[in-house]
Structure 1
């Protein structure tokens, strides 16, 4: 126990003594916590500017444009006389879409004939396009249902029956765990876990290559190699005991994200996550053996690890081999588990599979790290 505490104290000293490690693990985590969520603070795209080209100029066409403008997603920024002038505004990036109401729009509706409106929107920005198309489609369907109901009433159908005929199966959508339907609520909890993994991974990798890292290679220390590894892990747990609750408890509260879970289940689940990431970092350091190499390798792996996490692209759509490899990355199981515990309020029993995966990775990577350091220790006298 004494050897474990000594190794822990020595590793904590190295974390705060080496500027690159302190910058990544402490300062980096603080900077990410402040800057990363800023682009997502508005949660969802609102009031996307579009232009309306009303070729009909009737009360019905103006009412249609007014209803589109009244939605929270779209704002009618300009009413233009023709399609060409609206196109120029799109190319100048002053608007993001064009709603073209055709001539004889009202007459066709009153005669029961289809009167399709045209929507031109920039699909290169998928979220903006989705908002514009969704708002216009919803308004068009509403007006279409009202026109059809009025036509049926005019034919002598009971008003209640006419309304039911135009919308026989009304849908009430209740967005659970994301009431605003926002992007921040979806992406930030997963991104926080990735940030925790990447900062700890780089820091542990650097610590394994900087001076004072080869504990256990001297003959007098080889017997305490396991104790030294446990001491290092205890040091990493101590540092993450401050950083991790700040990310998974304080930041969601600060940014108004759903937080239905308790603190203790999250902290309990975090133990194997930290141990697994630290073990992987020690393996990387033992293999690469260079501080610059560790930084370059882990920086290059940042985007692949982000994609393999399974929230930017559905994990079910991965090729089988990529899906299998993703389980070797701690964040794959950790994101799923942390989101269920913290955001959805699930009990620990609901994340038992993810918990077992993390414990398995923690044991697997730390045993490999110990084996690599031990193998290097055996080879050291031969080169002396």
Structure 2
């Protein structure tokens, strides 16, 4: 019956899953992990190099921040369509295609023109939409009893990916130039595509009738709470990618030290990214977990806004702990607040579209606030404000309900 529906819809025949193959699940686990390692570094590599890129193309502070904003705007527009692409091509092939588009975009943005810089950034973002939305579906589908563990592996490797982009950007630039840095670091996407190729034969196509109807999510208060929570975590991360380095250098840090702290902010989040999803999955609800994460972010944000020297560095690391914990909980909500893989995919599409719409405001508003005021004093409070919002929204989204 399913094959008949696919033929009438003009879709390729649905190939059956051969779960008896002993290699399938171990390789699938590795594929999820490697995907996590590939989804953030193409973005975080740009933060430490903002000044060099701005000087090369004559970009203002707002223009540099727009590179991050363009990425988020693409996420907003394209994320809701990722499940449609997965349905048309098959989830696994769509993930492969996404990573190949990332590689192509990384090459295009090194071409010697401002238009190519922004066009390549758009391609990188388009490619990343597919694994970002479809991998929660894979986790919900293939690991229904291990949602917390697999989400932990995925989000913790995302954290490592973000740290690698920040850590390696300046050393690679000093050796070979920033063009090489922003091309080499996204090469992990090519490895991820290769690892997903064996699964292309399965050609999973999610049933469009499974789970909740697509339109009903946009009328669900719970779905909006998850979306807003996701948005706060993304706003914190991408604002840090775009502006944390100049915020810190304004307080007397060297560019190398500030870049290293940005990398540490991403890397230190790996520990809570491993711990939070399994803990959250075992609980009846996630209200207390979300409240604690919000408090950590709030404390770190206040330290960043009010201190200097060693205390400022500690504040950045506390923000990193809270950011890693918050993002891993946001991804956990995609499985915990849904009952099927298709519902998880639709919630992922909505939360990443709406959430990145919220996050897209961060880099531009912070850049404009800095230009208008000529100071970083006001923008430095961004992380504390996000922590307070995380505390409130997390306690709402963390209640034991499903969309």
Q: Say whether the fold is shared (TM-score over 0.5).
A: no
Q: Answer 1 or 2: higher relative contact order, Cα 8 Å, separation at least 6.
A: 2
More helix by share: 2
TM-score range normalised by the length of the shorter chain? 0.3 to 0.5
Q: Which has the larger radius of gyration?
A: 1
What TM-score results when the alignment is normalised by the length of structure 1? 0.34
TM-score by length of 2: 0.32
Richer in strand (by share): 1
